[in-house]
Amino acid sequence: MLTVQDRNDNSPRFINKDFTFFVPENFPGYGEIGVLSVTDADAGENGWVALSILNGTDIFMIDTGRGILRAKTSLDREQQGTYQLWVEAVDGGEPALSSVTMVTVLLLDVNDNPPIVLFPQSNQSYMLVLPSTLPGTSITEVYAVDKDTGMNAVIAYSIIKRKGGEPGSFAIDAQTGNITLKRELSNRGLCSLLVKVSDHGQPEPLYSTVMVNFFVNETVSNESYIQSLLTREADIEIEEKPWYIGQMKDGPERYELFPCQPVLIALSATCLGLFLLVVMLTSYICCKRFKRHRKKRKSETEIPLKMNHESVHVDSLYKV
């Protein structure tokens, strides 16, 4: 009987020439990113294969025998969106044979960054607006950026609250953030607009807010007085309607100006139900009284009596 002993004459072979894995950012640390499959035509120890990462070992790790690739920590696409690793497969022969493949890890964007407002730079900044400014004039703009990509980075602007000035005096372009004057400014003084800057991310959009302040006057005579007005903590009135120019094509902007509306509807329905109940009870009581009154009258009858073969009518009332 002739026995042929195996010779380590076959290098390990990866199933794919290279590997690409798509992983959502913020993927939990030590979660399974993917599996690298490798084979060796030899037998015994010559066919045993061990995998190792040649670069990026501070971030990634690989199961030596099973080929499962993992990240040691959660990955942030905004820090780095693509990783390229070189993975080596070495068999157990003498001498050992090896092969190398490239692994690309691409991070998919997750809406984890709210828009960042770059202008105005502070809620305490303001600009002078002349009372003679004509309606339709562009006054200023709100500018913001988003670190995410795709729809997660598409920004919409809206005025949600105001303080001072008449309702609807200003409008904002939902796409560009450009603020224009809608009507003449009849009142001088400080006017503040609370602007909401929201992205179109899924499953929930993220947003930031910024205060845009206007001082309506011919000149700025007392800047310290204006700064004192800006630092005061005061409630901002709600706009009667959301003033904006243009709509985002991907869907209407939602405004939550009346958060108590469901409560008011419920209270109204409750009051209406109580009113109907009172009307029904009143009708029932009136009907009962009317029936009792009719029954009482029926009991009042003339009772004929015969005395000496003559019929005599008694006017008195007898109650049975």
For the domain that residue 180 is a member of, what is the CATH number? Answer: 2.60.40.60
Whether the full predicted model's pTM is greater than 0.85, yes or no, is no
| CA–CA dist 259, 99 (Å, integer) | 64
Is residue 4 one of the residues assigned to a domain? Answer: no
Q: Quick check: bond before 12 cis, omega within 30?
A: no
Is residue 252 one of the residues assigned to a domain? Answer: no
Partnered with residue 190 across adjacent β-strands are 215
Same domain, 137 and 167: yes
Same domain, 124 and 237: yes
Q: Write the DSSP string, 170-215.
A: EEEETTT-EEEE-S---S-EEEEEEEEEEE--SSS--EEEEEEEEE
**Nearest of 159, 218, 162 to residue 189 by alpha carbon:** 218
One digit per residue, the tens of pLDDT, for the chain of length 320 reads: 655 567 888 999 999 999 999 999 999 989 999 999 999 999 888 999 999 999 988 999 999 989 999 999 999 999 999 999 999 999 999 899 999 999 999 999 999 999 999 999 999 899 999 999 999 999 999 999 999 999 999 999 999 999 888 888 999 999 999 999 999 988 888 999 999 999 999 889 999 999 999 999 998 877 877 888 887 755 565 554 444 444 443 333 343 434 455 555 666 677 777 777 777 777 777 777 777 766 665 555 444 444 444 444 444 444 43
Final residue in a domain of this structure, among 50, 81, 108: 108
Other beta carbons less than 10 A from residue 113's beta carbon? 19
Is residue 256 one of the residues assigned to a domain? Answer: no
- Tokens 């290098």: give the residue: 11
Other beta carbons less than 10 A from residue 176's beta carbon? 14
| Domain total in the chain | 3
Final residue in a domain of this structure, among 46, 79, 108: 108
Q: Write the DSSP string, 45-78.
A: GGG-EEEEESS-TTTEEE-TTT-EEEESS---TT
What residues make up the domain containing 34? Answer: 13-108
Same domain, 122 and 234: yes
Query: What are the tens digits of pLDDT across the range 126-159?
Result: 999 999 999 999 999 999 999 999 999 999 999 9
Final residue in a domain of this structure, among 108, 131, 155: 108
Same domain, 120 and 157: yes
Query: What are the tens digits of pLDDT across the range 171-188?
Result: 999 999 999 999 998 888
